[in-house]
Structure 1
């Protein structure tokens, strides 16, 4: 477990070395040929790392070898960053002209020849270290293992029997599944068999629920033929057909099925199922290949009309694919049911009444299980026939991952899901370990620094960083690692299940550490740190190679002058998040952190000034000083931050630096709040800007965005700008329109939607209108915006009607209307006068009452 990310690091290094961007950078500084030699050595070592990762748990020497290797890899990453920093420096000189006094003074210490010699020497040092470490690979007997053949721990095969007494708290879930299985369906496209999927986290009890349903007497009367198959292993058509046939009552007449070919097996399968109404349970499905599923599904269609397939899977994407977009999402048990299940496994029946103190401790143990039946059973069983208070307190006070586990317990169940992840996604997932339990993650404005830390995979052609992040989050959500996942239009909020949080702490503990009073010692191997308690910062001995220091929102922020005065010693920092800190300014030395890519000063209420040296950080990709309400002026020469992709600022400065911001040609997101100006963005030109957010500009009357100068704007949000007239915000004449999401929040001058919005009828997908107290109507032309997928209207009391043509919005999947009294009454499901206009929409939410108007 200790070096679980090393293959991912090697993969990232090799990928970067062969990328066009880095090839250009290495040629610019004259070390291209030197880097080629490093790439060959890295590729040679990478080839055996999967084998090494799998063998390390049984071999202490191998673990030490991997630790040495990882240190060399990190040196290589730092060196490659050094090259990119130098290229950014030269690009800035070229852009501004090397004769300018300030730029010359800024960069006078650099010498291209000396730099090339130094980097070439360091490359040789790293290559020699790699060669030396790699030479030891043979003594460990390491082999080359292709990634697709890596070993993962498979779960045991399941069977169909369960005692009703063993299933607690699932009666409502059982009823819902039975309703879906017994529901009559119309034959669609000649399909006689339909599919119901149960989706949820490992250990949640999907298999137990499926057994509970499978053995219900009602099922016996409806489905004369019942079949149970545990898929689990690779989705091989031949093996699955054999399993189905072995599950059939007539299997004894078919001979040795393993000796038959696919053609013979499919004939037998069709004979067994032909014209019979059957229920087939496919337990623990991992196959994402739709072609393989459709091949099997076609064979099953010989069954009688009304036959059903019940699927259990941890992956939402699989559940959706197999059941045509509809699945049942299984949730955790209630606390009361959780307690009942725990006590069942921890005591003989009725004995718990004699041990009230243990039951009280059990309440705390149950909370840490987060409603997962397998965890409740695991911890309950571990305490069975143990009546010592100290033993119960040990289980209560320790992370679940530190407790003894059996193969069938919850830890392997969750770890199995983790093991299936691609290597890059494991490091992506590890970042969550820096945040406390129950933390609400928010992906708006790039507030999580995956890109800055190099934790994203290399993009495919046309993919953006945001695309990559959404893809990674979707993969984690699809296996139920993320819960309460909400799409809020342009960004998502979510949290981790408590046991998933324990998992990420466990797998990331050698590189990532959340420092608190119970875990304050920081090993030298740690590269990423978060501090939840301010006073620990002065006491902490932070490794000089640290790359991340964060103060998560909800913590206390930083207030240590000692830390601030020594910040430049952490020269490899990529991420510095000082949110909620109490500093009035930052030291000039912050300009020495040339590797820094992410800097957040959000909610620094006492911050009054920022040093101009901040603008020497050419590697910076994200700069946040949002809600710094006392900040008097912005640092000079913001335009020097040539790699900046995201900028969020709050300022009291009246002369807004539009010329400097226009120099930020890489900028993709700009958020401005609290600017005391009447007019903004007269001629602002940012060709790559995709998102613009304005908030709390109380004097703002005029906002002019020329779509020719900002051609790629996709998301626009305007909030708390009471004097703003929206009629002239966008000039859509002779422009290529791209706007996809529009949010209008607390705009008192908004009476109807601005006419320019009509020009986005072929691009706009999301429309959010909230707290607009004077909004009176939605224009009829809104119904021509057929790309709209989501409309949210909240707290607009004067809005009482909908356009007549709402039925034309054929792609509208979600309509939410909250706290609009008269309009909510008129949209009431099945009763309101506007219901016929909106009943075609998949999800209609009226005053928080969710209605699924069509079964999909």
Structure 2
């Protein structure tokens, strides 16, 4: 949207002028007046652009004016970014000239200078000539664009735009105040009818029963399907339930893999449809299954038959389909069972609307607005999505006057079919500040049903300059995301665990955009964003297939031309990038490439053309070599290479990207080294290098990246003087936050470990300490105890993992101070004979202990009620593990006794694990019994796997331990339920096919 682009340019101007004043840099001599004029023009245009964007809906002339404004604004943003980059490069070069070179071994093991000091006068002369040429070029470009902007500024007077002032945004509640929409209004009868159709007895019918739900976008098809899918009667009736989100295009292989993965199988290596079909047939054979295919569009009979062929389970199996198109239901030959979903009644519409609009309001605040609210809800025509969107908008309208303004808005009177559908969304969108508008519209780059990760999305917003000028762009991005979530622009937030709660830190997991909301985002960015599917290698003219965002309307085709600024390319297994893309690639600011698992393409052909790119996502694109030309993308701020498991190294030219803010190489498992001059990336804020198992270390220059907030995986080298980043260098990175993983901690010097000063890094909330080593092991056990003590984290820590530790005790001084710790993993600590007193931790919710091969007894010390020398502890609480919900023990073959009763007998007021929800015990062959206190816990799920003695002792009705666990609703022993939803198996052979 034009308003977003204009705001970004003004932010750039402010930043540029600020840099000139602060750094006394004058890279563009003689254009001071042009810059002032430029600023004045943009300020004047910004005052009317909000009104212009509203009028463009019904006035094509205004729409054309805005298109010209956007084109000039984008070009000006590029010029200003070139200017800013030149200032930055000049600063970096000055630092190199006065600094001391950093040394790092090259591939042959020889020392090499990272930043050679330029002493040659010839190099200096060339640099000066280059700068002078850049000055002249920038001055000319600014003057030319200013002339174009002059014309646009004059033309604005032809449209009688209303000047608007920036309105201070009301303070809003945090994300934890997201409205709970677990209650579904007005669908009870529909749900009961549907459930009866799923459960009806048709044992004589061996055919496949297909039940489609048909209805327009936003009417609640998916919500109804979810309601039915999660009903307890449905869950107990079917042996297997599978949910697949289909959308457009209909990909049989992708859908087939999703079905296979629902059976907890790895489907990544399946390539051919035939092998997928055979695997599906084996998985569902003999099972009564329920398969939900959500959001089906295709009317292609052949594609459907390919998928339908293997779906022959037991009698009573069902396929539930949601679709907007009745033709889909007919194609599936389900004419007699089509369920046409109607709109909500006025009564239910008001109930749903009020749940959002009147959320957290006092009765006094509701006086005089309920009647208006009823009228607004009526205008939504019974569509639940529209009701939620408008209800979320009205939640922040405090006065009766504001409610009346929404009710009487002119948008309700427009006759255009698309506008009528999008009116509630437009009303909510126009109420957003410019920042939220530009961030929301950017989401049109993602395909439908794409899982949106908040952290990645915010970093992409940053890369586009949307959060420029903010003191903390990440915090501004979080606030923006939260506000959009509270407006119901995002939905389907993933829960933290089976207890269906938000994450421990109050945040939300990945989410999605509703199909209609996605259509709306593409409507807003019609000429700027394009999602293209590249067909299998064919003639050029047949190769491009634009995926329309408006599938509910007659198909539209976008022309992939210079107006497209953000593009997603979907590549099949055998594809080549058509040359026509190269012709317009120079205008792209975002490129998002999605590949099938084994797809290959020549990215190097396209790379030199992407000169204006800010955001590049090549995640899981099977890239083995990143071309040197990547260093020419001077505007690039976000580069995602994660999941490219064949990528072995990054080119040194990458270090020329002085604007780069985010580098993602997560799960690039073959990368051994990072570029030596990585320290030149002075704007780098996020280095996501987790799960790069072969990485030998980080370059020493990383210690100079003072902007760095994310550094996931730090490999610690034995010789800290060899030019690699050492743990002591962490002391310089005071802005680090989030997660840090320290590998090879056992190789540390105790004094060096203390220099890391982890206890002062209050924003690091997740810490992994891996003491394992990959070379000859000469570790001193006593040193490891001291090293662990020296690596004391800040009490703000919420996640801790300790693995491969060789010390004999884990009871460090600082462990009991972790009052905010919610999750703890303990693994492969082979010399520890006892577990630390974790029962004292007041916030711990999830605990996993595995491969503790020396532990024989778990008891009072673990509960925090007794010290290791058998002295009773004076504890401030009479509750042990007060908030623990999920507990897992695995591969502890020496563990014989789990005692939780000794201290309880002495102190009957003690409560143990009063919040326990799930318990899993696996491969603990010597364990004979579970503790008595389990009878007093609210345990809902118990799983016992591969435990020779305990498995027999916990069999229903016959096992000696059954009386301790019989109250647990769901008990699974060796992958088979012996009790599910309180239903006990009574098979003579002790098995339970019905509960499988």
CA contact (8 A) 2:56 2:63 kept: yes
Task: State the Cα deviation string for residues 497-516 of structure 1 (Å, max 9, x = none).
Answer: 34333333333332222221
| 2:367 corresponds to | 241
Identify unmatched segments of 5+ residues in structure 1. Answer: 151-162, 175-202, 216-226, 249-282, 294-401, 828-832, 852-856
Query: How far has the Cα of 1:768 moved from its partner?
Result: 3.7
> In the superposition, relative to structure 1, how do residues 291 and 130 fare at CA in structure 2: closer, same or farther (>3 Å)?
closer
| 1:97 corresponds to | 97
1:453 to 446, 450, 464: 464
Task: State the Cα deviation string for residues 164-185 of structure 1 (Å, max 9, x = none).
Answer: 89963389999xxxxxxxxxxx
1:4-15 to structure 2, matched below 5 A, reads 5-15=1-11
Aligned residues: 637
CA distance in 1, matches of 2:898, 2:444: 42
| 1:376 corresponds to | none
CA distance in 1, matches of 2:640, 2:354: 53
> In the superposition, relative to structure 1, how do residues 573 and 710 fare at CA in structure 2: closer, same or farther (>3 Å)?
farther
CA distance in 2, matches of 1:638, 1:659: 9
> In the superposition, relative to structure 1, how do residues 512 and 229 fare at CA in structure 2: closer, same or farther (>3 Å)?
closer
Residue 500 in structure 1 maps to residue 520 in structure 2: no
CA contact (8 A) 1:652 1:675 kept: no
CA distance in 2, matches of 1:716, 1:243: 46
1:310-459 to structure 2, matched below 5 A, reads 404=417, 407=420, 411-443=422-454, 448-456=459-467, 458-459=469-470
CA distance in 1, matches of 2:658, 2:35: 23
CA contact (8 A) 1:229 1:244 kept: no
Task: State the Cα deviation string for residues 112-161 of structure 1 (Å, max 9, x = none).
Answer: 444334323322222221111110011112121335599xxxxxxxxxxx
Secondary structure of the residue aligned to 1:793 is: strand
CA contact (8 A) 2:529 2:566 kept: yes
CA distance in 2, matches of 1:108, 1:652: 42
CA distance in 1, matches of 2:469, 2:692: 36
| 1:383 corresponds to | none
CA distance in 2, matches of 1:541, 1:840: 57
| 1:681 corresponds to | 726
Residue 662 in structure 1 maps to residue 703 in structure 2: yes
Residue 755 in structure 1 maps to residue 782 in structure 2: no
Query: How far has the Cα of 1:420 moved from its partner?
Result: 3.5
Secondary structure of the residue aligned to 1:694 is: strand
| 1:81 corresponds to | 81
Secondary structure of the residue aligned to 1:496 is: coil
> In the superposition, relative to structure 1, how do residues 701 and 84 fare at CA in structure 2: closer, same or farther (>3 Å)?
same
Secondary structure of the residue aligned to 1:493 is: coil
CA distance in 2, matches of 1:797, 1:83: 57
CA contact (8 A) 2:528 2:563 kept: yes
> In the superposition, relative to structure 1, how do residues 479 and 655 fare at CA in structure 2: closer, same or farther (>3 Å)?
closer
Query: How far has the Cα of 1:238 moved from its partner?
Result: 9.4
Query: How far has the Cα of 1:44 moved from its partner?
Result: 0.5
Residue 482 in structure 1 maps to residue 523 in structure 2: no
2:159 to 140, 151, 165: 140
Secondary structure of the residue aligned to 2:511 is: strand
CA distance in 2, matches of 1:206, 1:469: 36
| 2:768 corresponds to | 718
| 1:523 corresponds to | 561
Residue 578 in structure 1 maps to residue 587 in structure 2: no
Identify unmatched segments of 5+ residues in structure 2. Answer: 100-114, 170-184, 196-222, 225-323, 325-340, 375-389, 401-414, 497-502, 535-544, 548-558, 774-778, 853-857, 866-874, 902-907, 919-937, 943-967, 971-996
> In the superposition, relative to structure 1, how do residues 689 and 127 fare at CA in structure 2: closer, same or farther (>3 Å)?
same
Query: How far has the Cα of 1:83 moved from its partner?
Result: 2.0
> In the superposition, relative to structure 1, how do residues 671 and 465 fare at CA in structure 2: closer, same or farther (>3 Å)?
same
CA distance in 2, matches of 1:516, 1:86: 37
Larger mean CA deviation between 593-602 and 118-127 belongs to 118-127
> In the superposition, relative to structure 1, how do residues 771 and 436 fare at CA in structure 2: closer, same or farther (>3 Å)?
farther
| 2:801 corresponds to | 744
Query: How far has the Cα of 1:72 moved from its partner?
Result: 0.9
Secondary structure of the residue aligned to 2:546 is: coil
1:792 to 825, 846, 852: 846
Query: How far has the Cα of 1:40 moved from its partner?
Result: 1.4
2:651 to 608, 611, 622: 611
Query: How far has the Cα of 1:731 moved from its partner?
Result: 6.7
Query: How far has the Cα of 1:767 moved from its partner?
Result: 3.3
Q: CA RMSD in A?
A: 5.3
CA distance in 2, matches of 1:524, 1:613: 28
CA contact (8 A) 1:676 1:700 kept: yes
CA contact (8 A) 2:591 2:616 kept: yes
1:648-659 to structure 2, matched below 5 A, reads 648-649=688-689, 656-659=697-700
Secondary structure of the residue aligned to 1:425 is: helix
CA contact (8 A) 2:630 2:653 kept: yes
Larger mean CA deviation between 646-655 and 665-674 belongs to 646-655
Residue 644 in structure 1 maps to residue 684 in structure 2: yes
| 1:365 corresponds to | none
Task: State the Cα deviation string for residues 577-606 of structure 1 (Å, max 9, x = none).
Answer: 222233432332222211111222222222
> In the superposition, relative to structure 1, how do residues 782 and 818 fare at CA in structure 2: closer, same or farther (>3 Å)?
closer
CA contact (8 A) 1:753 1:778 kept: yes
Residue 41 in structure 1 maps to residue 41 in structure 2: yes
2:481 to 473, 485, 490: 473
Residue 803 in structure 1 maps to residue 903 in structure 2: no
